[in-house]
Amino acid sequence: MKFCLACKEPYQSDRWECTHCHMSPLLKNDIPIFHPAYVSENDGYNPDIFDHMPYSEEPHYFNKARAFLILWIIKHFFANAANFLEIGCGKGTILSKIQEAHPSFTCWGSEIYLKGLEHIKKKLTNVHLFQTDARQLPFYEEFDIIGAFDVLEHIEEDVAVLKEMYKAVKPQGGIILSVPQYPQLWSQRDEFLYHKRRYTRTELVKKVRDAGFRICKVTSFNVLLFPLFLLIAMHNRYPKKNYNPFREFNIPRPLQKILTEIFALERFLIQLGIILPFGGSLLLVAKRN
């Protein structure tokens, strides 16, 4: 069901018009805009990064590896799912992989910036898009799966986002999250990416439980490259004048290939049920109680 952000009532309709108070969002290029004030500016990210960031596009190894892992999670934990919402879907890298692997899924994507959504609209047909602040989702018990991949760390009120996710998933549905791990690894890179925090496992688990979810799986990933991350973090620990944030994202293709293979090995270990004890990122799967 849809959820009216004005009168706070769920409603059933194919259209974006509340059946109780008749409020409807602005439309821009057929994309509903729920929070016009944040379309081009807020403190969670810099939309210009989209234009310069090979990181958000294939074939960066991290994106590729993360997408494969997410596909496995969907198959393993959400075998009966029919729809999926990604919050903070960026340029749509993960949405396109999910659509490819599950052509029968109804896929939805949300972003706070219109820029990313307009990019996806050109690239992917059949994905429903809307602009919103993740602290207010215009849905009620609608989705089998909601994913937020490296999104929560950009938002001050991450607990509010988790509560909205709880409201928007079906009673038998659940969420998949990935976040950067270890506050001790905080560096200039996190500041460049507008991160508000890096998580500890305890903090993430507690926040997800407090929002009402039951944890199904939580594991580290990005393990085998962890020593490399440690070196980068140490190197970027203190602000440098000549810091070039794009350097570490511009990885030559042959090296990307090797890194992707390393990640494939890691995915294999996770699929075997091995909980990886440490790593640059955390992956969490939870369901509504």
* Chain residues in the site for Zn ion (CB under 5 A): 4, 6-7, 18, 20-21, 23
User: Cα Rg for the chain, rounded, in angstroms?
Assistant: 19
Tell which phi-psi region holds residue 230, choosing left (phi > 0), alpha (psi between -120 and 50) or beta.
alpha
Residue 32: CB minimum distance to Zn ion, A: 14
Of 4 and 87, the one with the shorter C-beta distance to Zn ion is 4
Residue 167: CB minimum distance to Zn ion, A: 15
CB atoms within 10 A of CB 196: 14
Of 7 and 255, the one with the shorter C-beta distance to Zn ion is 7
CB atoms within 10 A of CB 31: 19
Residue 22: CB minimum distance to Zn ion, A: 7
**Contact in structure between 130 and 24 (CB atoms under 8 Å):** no
240: its two tokens: 């440098």
229: its two tokens: 């991350």
Of 6 and 231, the one with the shorter C-beta distance to Zn ion is 6
Of 18 and 223, the one with the shorter C-beta distance to Zn ion is 18
List beta partners, residue 95.
none
Residue 71: CB minimum distance to Zn ion, A: 36
Of 23 and 234, the one with the shorter C-beta distance to Zn ion is 23
155: its two tokens: 């938002």
What is d(CA 186, CA 71) in angstroms, rounded to the nearest whole number?
29
Of 21 and 264, the one with the shorter C-beta distance to Zn ion is 21
Residue 108: CB minimum distance to Zn ion, A: 20
Burial of 260 (0-12, 13-18, 19+ CB in 10 A): middle
Of 19 and 244, the one with the shorter C-beta distance to Zn ion is 19
Residue 202: CB minimum distance to Zn ion, A: 39
User: Can you list the positions of beta strands (E) in the chain?
Assistant: 2-3, 10-11, 26-28, 31-33, 83-87, 106-111, 127-131, 143-149, 169-180, 213-221, 281-288
269: its two tokens: 């270990």
Residue 177: CB minimum distance to Zn ion, A: 29
